[in-house]
Copies of this chain bind each other. A is one copy, B any other.
Amino acid sequence: MCQLLGMNANTPTDVMFSFAGLATRADEHGDGFGIGFFEDKGLRLFVDHYGAQKSPVAELVKGYPIKSGNVIAHIRKATQGRVALENTHPFVRELWGRYWVFAHNGDLKGFAPRLHGAFRPVGDTDSEHAFCWLMQELAKAHASVPGIDELSTTLRELLPQPAACGTFNMLLSNGQALWAHASTHLHWLVREHPFRAATLADEDLSVDFAALTSPSDRVAVVATEPLTAGESWTAMARGELRVFENGAPRAG
């Protein structure tokens, strides 16, 4: 299964990623990975269609101290679309002078709405098509960048359409907030002071939060499966959209 990982922090936070597990199982999840880091409005996007085992990009990301408030990562197992750089998540588009980053886990059957706006897929995945449609509909719904609650309202109207066509676990961020929509598997957790010096880890991916030491630091983590035992991860319901801002879920 593809792995999604999202983070939203109240302070740009040093987070160290590791692909240790992946590196030993590149045959299974060898179809690419990508990770996007917002630094204020700026974006750093690392994508590779090689498995993490042989990718120098994975090596870079692994040792890279990232100061980011919003992160979206994706480990891809190709189910639709060729294995190619242009099919590697996350995808990025610009709208209203902001970059938007999108990653999707799941298959969509027959979701091919007409794209008549300014966004077209470069690759041939159902995911990028759905993302372009989402950007097109957001652009139609608002003349300029709306507030987070308005965006959430629009997304709540839009997301049932792709979700009705299959599995639509997805993460979306514009650097201000992180939106998570679940169909099947998506879990979230807020970590705040006092932090246990724990490493969140599953077999693929670990995140070291040791650098989170200030009492005011807070970070929300969203992942396909809980990354730790002994912490209270909340499973998202089918069709649920949750918005994270300043390291916590936003009420409403």
Contact = CB atoms under 8 A, between A and B. Distances in A.
Contacts of A122: 41-42, 94, 97-99
Interface string A25-58: 0000000000000011111110101000000110
Contacts of A118: 95, 117-119, 139
Given A42-B84, A45-B45, 16 more contacts: A39-B85, A41-B84, A41-B86, A42-B49, A42-B85, A42-B87, A42-B88, A42-B122, A43-B86, A56-B60, A56-B63, A59-B60, A94-B119, A97-B122, A98-B122, A117-B118
Interface of A: 39-45, 47, 49, 56-57, 59-60, 63-64, 84-88, 92-99, 117-123, 139
Contacts of A87: 42
Contacts of A45: 45
Number of copies: 2
A123 B93 contact: no
A87 B40 CA distance: 11
Given A45-B45, A98-B122, A122-B94, A40 B117 contact: no
A73 B44 CA distance: 16
Interface SS, A side: mixed
A94 B117 CA distance: 12
A45 B92 CA distance: 12
B85 A123 contact: no
A196 to B, nearest CB: 28
A94 B93 contact: yes
Nearest to A59: B60
Nearest to A39: B85
Contact of A94 (B42, B47, B60, B120): B120
A51 to B, nearest CB: 16
A65 to B, nearest CB: 9
B94 A40 contact: no
B47 A44 contact: yes
